[in-house]
């Protein structure tokens, strides 16, 4: 059995641990051959494929990024005319055939799982593994990378507290998450944010201003505001810049902004992410060995399971008002907008 493996979309901590998990289970336990496809789906278009063996895996468990490289190439994206550029799907199929790959493991976020579902429709044996710091892949409770990003963002919020209180300022910190507020919610709550703004919950600038002034009246002349990058703003402004300007206007408080950016995606995965990545990688190989294709590995509660790629494709997992961290946050007086 020849297994191809690729990593596609934005990188995150834990991808290399997953590659290691897939390879070790495939090679050592099942006696399969594993081939690394470089730079996501671009590697299938460029015929850029290398054999992976135990020697390729040294030091991968805690290494950030992806040793295979990644790209945001979308082979099924049509041109304006409706035609595929250069008939990319046909090139993909040919490369898979040329290398006699029996199946492809696609490690990636929503876009990757959508492409994986299209490949499955075309008869390719595919298994998806969810990967994103954003935690917005539908069908899995958690994706690896999320815990690492939350831990980095929480550390940053902790550090902003001391400078905010020393200078009696409002500190606005923008975290990633694309259209979802998971990183903002989890890091904001863990970091003791006073105001947490998520794309899923509409906000009102007057209420935010009142919350900051209320804190001053309670003897707290500083505030920490955690904003997700995906919140609505006016004038095409970035989240942190817009909210910081509006807070100064509403309250007259000196306000500073911090955009955490790609630091959230870099470096070593947390222990939780290493283990989740290892479990998901191993489960993907079990599915392959059982001939159960067209599926994405998923965490459900405490167990690793799988879900049909056709069910995952095109959906987003967003924060809801009913999420217990939102409910508990509201009980604690945190302003969600």
CA-nearest of 225, 90, 214, 221 to 167 is 221
Contact letters for ligand F6P, residues 5-34 (x by CB under 6 A): -----x------------------------
Does the footprint of ligand F6P cover residue 143 (CB under 6 A)? no
Residues of span 64-103 touching ligand F6P by CB under 6 A: none
**Which residues fall in the annotated binding site?**
10, 72-73, 109-112, 132-134, 169, 176-178, 229, 256, 262-265
Minimum CB separation of residue 319 from ligand F6P in Å reads 14
Contact between 208 and 337 under an 8 Å Cβ cutoff? The reply is: yes
Partners of 321 in the β-ladder = none
193-221: b or e for each residue (b if 16 or more CB lie within 10 Å)? Answer: bbbbbbbbbebeeeebbebbeebeeeeeb
Tell me the HSE value of 196 on the side-chain side, using a 13 A CA sphere.
28
- Least distance from C-beta 70 to ligand F6P, angstroms? 9
Residues annotated within the binding site for ATP are 10, 72-73, 109-112
User: Which residues contribute to the annotated binding site for substrate?
Assistant: 132-134, 169, 176-178, 229, 256, 262-265
Site mask, ligand F6P, residues 246-265, x = CB under 6 A? -------------------x
**Binding to ligand F6P by residue 108, rule CB under 6 A?**
no
Q: Which residue from 16, 132, 135, 251 is in contact with ligand F6P, where contact means CB under 6 A?
A: 132
Selected binder of ligand F6P within 13, 21, 36, 109 (CB under 6 A)? 109
Chain residues 209-248 in contact with ligand F6P, contact rule CB under 6 A: 229
Region near ligand F6P per CB under 6 A, out of 19-27, 81-89, 126-134, 288-296:
126-134
Structure token digits, residue 2: 């020849």
Q: How far is the CB of 147 from ligand F6P (least distance, A)?
A: 15
Verify binding: residue 147, ligand F6P, rule CB under 6 A.
Answer: no
Cα–Cα distances in Å, from 327 out to 189, 321, 322, 332?
A: 11, 7, 6, 9
Binding positions for ligand F6P, 262-291, rule CB under 6 A: 265
- What is the distance between the alpha carbons of residues 153 and 284, in angstroms, rounded to a whole number? 30
Of the residues 20, 38, 114, 178, which one makes contact with ligand F6P according to CB under 6 A: 178
Stretch near ligand F6P under the rule CB under 6 A, chosen from 37-45, 96-104, 128-136, 274-282: 128-136
The angle that helices 15-23 and 271-289 make with each other, rounded to 10 degrees, is 40
Enumerate the known binding-site residues for Mg(2+): 110
Closest CA relative to residue 126, chosen from 167, 96, 91:
96
Report in angstroms how near the CB of residue 13 gets to ligand F6P at its nearest.
12
CA atoms within 13 A on the CB side of 135: 23
Nearer to ligand F6P, 25 or 133 (CB): 133
Q: How many CB atoms lie within 10 A of CB 10?
A: 18
Question: Binding residues for ligand F6P, how many (CB under 6 A)?
Answer: 10
Active-site pick, 48, 87, 102, 134? 134
> Would you call 134 a catalytic residue per the annotation?
yes
Residue 331 buriedness (CB in 10 A; 0-12 / 13-18 / 19+): exposed
> Angle, nearest 10°, between helix axes 324-331 and 182-190?
40
Per DSSP, 194 falls in state S
| Binding region for ligand F6P (CB under 6 A) | 10, 109, 132-134, 176-178, 229, 265
């Amino acid at each position: 059995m020849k297994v191809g493996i690729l990593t596609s979309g934005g990188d995150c901590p834990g991808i290399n641990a997953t590659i290691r998990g897939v390879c070790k289970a495939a090679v050592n336990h099942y006696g399969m051959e594993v081939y690394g496809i470089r730079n996501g789906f671009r590697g299938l278009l460029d015929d850029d494929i290398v054999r992976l063996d135990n020697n390729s895996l040294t030091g991968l468990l805690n290494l950030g990024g992806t040793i295979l490289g990644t790209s945001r190439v979308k082979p099924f994206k049509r041109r304006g005319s409706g035609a595929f550029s250069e008939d990319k799907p046909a090139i993909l199929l040919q490369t898979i055939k040329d290398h006699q790959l029996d199946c492809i493991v696609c490690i990636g976020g929503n876009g990757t799982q959508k492409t994986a579902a299209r490949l499955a429709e075309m008869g390719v044996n595919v298994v998806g593994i969810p990967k994103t710091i954003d935690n917005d892949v539908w069908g899995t409770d958690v994706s690896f990378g999320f815990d690492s990003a939350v831990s980095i963002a929480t550390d940053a919020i902790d550090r902003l507290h001391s400078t905010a209180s020393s200078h009696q300022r409002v500190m606005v910190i923008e975290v990633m998450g694309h259209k979802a507020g998971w990183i903002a919610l989890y890091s904001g709550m863990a970091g003791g944010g006073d105001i947490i703004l998520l794309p899923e919950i509409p906000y009102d600038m007057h209420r935010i201003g009142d919350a900051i002034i209320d804190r001053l009246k309670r003897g707290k002349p500083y505030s920490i505001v955690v904003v997700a990058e995906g919140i609505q703003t006016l004038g095409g402004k970035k989240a942190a810049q817009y909210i910081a300007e509006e807070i100064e206007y509403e309250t007259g408080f000196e306000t500073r902004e911090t955009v955490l950016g790609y630091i959230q995606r870099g470096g070593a995965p947390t222990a939780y992410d290493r283990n989740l990545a290892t479990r998901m990688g191993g489960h993907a190989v079990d599915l392959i060995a059982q001939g159960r294709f067209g599926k994405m590995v998923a965490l459900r509660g405490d167990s690793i399971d799988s879900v049909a790629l056709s069910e995952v494709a095109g959906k987003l997992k967003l924060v809801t008002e009913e999420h217990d961290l939102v409910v508990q946050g509201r009980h604690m007086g945190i302003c969600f907008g």
